[in-house]
């Protein structure tokens, strides 16, 4: 069911960019646009380099235009969101920690990413396809609609032939533009990245690699085009001669010594250098919006230089906001098969796509934020559920409603959601304690609210699966909850009279209070009753010492149940342990 487009209001950053992009797109159209129906197709773009696992940090490259494109679609316009797969870029280095890859892959450095073998055991035909596939699957789960364009296909099919010949004819102009920046030192990129995060997401490996050189100035002059060697396939080539009329190009390979002369008008095995390639594609596709990371947006960067070069191709620079890096919390400690760098698939294992979309939608692109893989995810989910409740009862602010609406679906409809979205922290505790026993998990979750039990665990899915995955993969072993097998008789024997009484009060109330709300009331009530107050007394009616008494009572229960000072919230823990076992462990 399509979401009603409640989006013409300028309520958030997405709406404001959509306004700007539509206006710019219409300004570029020949003739006057009088209605949505005769408006040009709006083109927005992202670029991704499948040079290795595509990091979660690079997802912003896609989510920023996606959200803007989606808003434009909701307004009834046609939009193309291009994702340029920069799979014709050179293979730069063997990334660390990728399963099925060893040092022997180093021999492929310099070849196009699509000419490098996929990791061992991969069902995909080459390196680029292997890493693209994982990203494509994540984007589908996130509801991101896009047109993928393989730059290998574009270049090797000759799609850019005219543009390449044009760039070669105008190499002097291009060289003059690039020359303005060659003497200027690039800004201290590393320092800008430092502010991002402890986990140091290396987004610099993103699209187009800003570090790539901008073409070679050999003895034959400057050329913005680089062939891949006809013998060894590497790009360690130098153009030694070029004739504009015949388009005859001679190159030599410094890797293998091969040299040949080709006719560029018929030759499809090479590419424009990055700083020329990017603006060429803006012009070729008519891109109106393409954000970029801070490393592409600084003075002398490819975005800025591209703005000067794009005119050579008869195009215009897109609206291109700079986006700040996205950090990760809690992943640094984790050992990962991918060298500790999380991908969107890793995030989607522990959170629903709605939550991940929300993180991007609610922050302006220039604000950095962190994606939580640690305990913080529980608080984030609390916040998300609170927002959902506010939206439902009409008390949410317009900007928050906008972010929520963008998170739960797209112009094409709502994303599949969990039928019974029980609190994530409760699901995580239950998964923690039941350790894969689904029947137990279902029993406990049904006891949370006995008046409205769960028919099957599926009603709590996929959120339950995400919480379970989080517990299993991101909570260190020493923080996992292990319920005692046998009562701690030593501790039970050593209890003083008031402690014994508190345990007794709890046991006496268990049967009557066996639900999440009931047990919450009970565990907080016991110390009140012991101190001579009503279990219903509110904090204002109680002396501050009650808090201390509650804390020591809780610590005692944790010790008796799980042998530690702390653990999951007690009511959840009690439900998870089950009434009979609680009675045994508490010495009844």
Q: Which residues bind Zn ion (CB under 5 A)?
A: 229, 231-232, 253, 255-256, 258
Closest CA to 507 of 433, 579, 556: 579
Nearest approach, Cβ of 227 to Zn ion (angstroms)? Answer: 10
In whole angstroms, how close is the CB of 102 to Zn ion at the nearest point?
A: 23
Cβ proximity to Zn ion, 250 vs 297, nearer residue: 250
Using alpha carbons only, give the angle 233, 237, 240 rounded to the nearest 5 degrees. Answer: 140
Q: Record the tokens describing residue 377, joined without a space.
A: 């995810």
Least spacing, CB of residue 255 vs Zn ion, in Å: 4
Residue number, 232 or 537, with CB nearest to Zn ion: 232
Measured from the CB of residue 231, what is the shortest distance to Zn ion in angstroms?
5
CA distances from residue 47 to 22, 44, 82, 93 in whole angstroms, order as listed? 21, 11, 8, 19
Task: Give the residue with the Cβ less far from Zn ion, 29 or 255.
Answer: 255
Between 236 and 529, whose beta carbon lies closer to Zn ion? 236
Instruction: For the CB of residue 3, give the shortest distance to Zn ion in the complex, in Å.
Output: 54
When the beta carbons of 218 and 450 are compared against Zn ion, the nearer one is: 218
* DSSP summary character for residue 95: -
Residue 110 CB, shortest distance to Zn ion, in Å, is: 9
CB of 478 to Zn ion, least distance (A): 54
Nearer to Zn ion, 270 or 300 (CB): 270
Could you tell me how far CA 34 lies from the centroid of its own chain?
Answer: 38
Interatomic CA distance for residues 178 and 186, integer angstroms: 13
Q: Which residues contact 88 (CB under 8 A, 6 or more apart)?
A: 112, 113, 114, 150, 151, 152, 154, 155, 156, 271
Shortest spacing between CB 257 and Zn ion, in angstroms:
7
SS3 479: helix
Question: For residues 181 and 258, which CB has a smaller minimum distance to Zn ion in the complex?
Answer: 258
Q: What is the largest CA-CA distance in the chain?
A: 102
Minimum Å gap between C-beta 114 and Zn ion is 17
User: Which residue's CB is nearer to Zn ion, number 229 or number 328?
Assistant: 229
The helix or strand, by DSSP H or E, that contains position 45, with its residue range, turns out to be: strand 42-48
Query: Which residues sit opposite 292 in a β-bridge?
Result: 322
First-to-final CA distance of the chain: 55
Q: Report the candidate in 337, 326, 341, 224 with the shortest Cα–Cα distance to residue 279.
A: 224
Q: Which is nearer to Zn ion, 220 or 232 (CB)?
A: 232
Nearer to Zn ion, 111 or 466 (CB): 111
Put residue 286 in one of left, alpha, beta given phi > 0 → left and psi -120 to 50 → alpha: left
> Which class for 579: exposed (0-12), middle (13-18), buried (19 or more C-beta within 10 A)?
middle
User: Between residues 157 and 231, which has the closer beta carbon with respect to Zn ion?
Assistant: 231
Q: How far is the CB of 259 from Zn ion (least distance, A)?
A: 9
Dihedral pair phi/psi, residue 326, rounded to 5°: -105, 130
CB of 51 to Zn ion, least distance (A): 21
What six digits make up the tokens of 481? 């909850």
**Distance from C-alpha of 237 to C-alpha of 228, rounded to nearest angstrom:** 7
Q: What is the 3-state secondary structure (H, E, C) of 232-268?
A: CCCCCEEEEEECCCCCEEEEEECCCCCEEEEEHHHCC
Q: Is the peptide bond prior to 462 cis by the omega test (within 30 degrees of 0)?
A: yes
């Amino acid at each position: 069911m399509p979401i009603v487009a409640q989006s013409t209001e300028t309520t958030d950053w997405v709406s404001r960019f959509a306004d700007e992009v539509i206006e710019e797109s219409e300004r570029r159209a020949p003739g006057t646009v009088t209605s949505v129906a005769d408006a040009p197709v709006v083109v927005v773009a992202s670029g991704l380099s499948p040079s290795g696992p595509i990091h979660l940090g690079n997802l912003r490259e896609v989510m920023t235009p996606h959200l803007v494109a989606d808003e434009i679609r909701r307004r009834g316009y046609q939009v193309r969101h291009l994702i340029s797969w920069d799979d014709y870029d050179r293979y730069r280095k063997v990334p660390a920690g990728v399963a099925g890859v060893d040092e022997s892959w180093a021999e492929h450095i310099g070849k196009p990413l699509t000419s490098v073998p996929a990791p061992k055991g991969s069902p995909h035909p080459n390196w680029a396809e292997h890493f693209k596939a994982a990203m494509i699957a994540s984007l589908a789960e996130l509801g991101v609609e896009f047109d993928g364009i393989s730059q290998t296909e574009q270049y090797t099919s000759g799609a850019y032939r005219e543009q390449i010949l044009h760039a070669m004819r105008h190499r002097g102009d291009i060289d003059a533009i690039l020359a303005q920046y060659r003497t200027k030192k690039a800004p201290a990129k590393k320092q800008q990245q430092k502010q991002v995060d402890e986990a140091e997401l290396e987004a610099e490996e993103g699209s187009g690699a800003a570090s790539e050189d901008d073409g070679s100035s050999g003895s034959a002059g400057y050329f913005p085009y680089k062939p891949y060697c006809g013998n060894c396939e590497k790009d360690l080539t130098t153009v030694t001669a070029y004739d504009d009329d015949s388009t005859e190009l001679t190159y030599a390979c410094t890797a293998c010594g091969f040299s040949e002369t080709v006719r560029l008008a018929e030759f499809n095995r090479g590419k424009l250098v990055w700083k020329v390639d990017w603006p060429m594609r803006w012009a070729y596709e008519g891109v109106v919006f393409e954000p970029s990371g801070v490393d592409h947006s600084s003075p002398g960067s490819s975005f800025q230089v591209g703005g000067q070069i794009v005119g050579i191709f008869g195009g215009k620079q897109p609206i291109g906001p700079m986006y700040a890096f996205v950090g990760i919390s809690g992943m640094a400690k984790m050992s990962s098969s991918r060298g500790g760098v999380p991908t969107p698939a890793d995030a989607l294992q522990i959170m629903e796509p709605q939550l991940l979309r929300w993180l991007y939608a609610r922050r302006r692109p220039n604000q950095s934020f962190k994606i939580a893989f640690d305990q913080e995810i529980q608080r984030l989910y609390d916040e998300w559920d609170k927002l959902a409740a506010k939206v439902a009862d009409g008390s949410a602010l317009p900007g928050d409603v906008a972010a929520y609406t963008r998170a739960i679906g797209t112009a094409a409809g709502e994303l599949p959601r969990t039928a019974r979205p029980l609190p994530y922290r409760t699901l995580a505790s239950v998964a923690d304690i039941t350790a894969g026993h689904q029947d137990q998990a279902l029993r406990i979750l049904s006891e949370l609210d006995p008046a409205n039990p769960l028919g099957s665990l599926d009603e709590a899915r996929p959120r339950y699966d995400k919480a379970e995955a989080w517990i299993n993969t991101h909570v260190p072993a020493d923080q996992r909850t292990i319920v005692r097998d046998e009562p701690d008789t030593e501790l039970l024997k050593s209890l003083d009279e008031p402690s014994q009484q508190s345990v007794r009060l709890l046991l006496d109330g268990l049967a009557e209070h066996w639900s999440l709300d009931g047990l919450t009331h009970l565990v907080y009530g016991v110390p009140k009753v012991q101190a001579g107050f009503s279990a219903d007394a509110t904090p204002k009616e109680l002396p501050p010492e009650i808090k201390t008494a509650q804390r020591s009572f809780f610590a005692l229960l944790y010790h008796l149940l799980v042998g530690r000072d702390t653990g999951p919230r007690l009511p959840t823990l009690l439900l998870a342990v089950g009434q009979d076992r609680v009675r045994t462990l508490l010495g009844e």
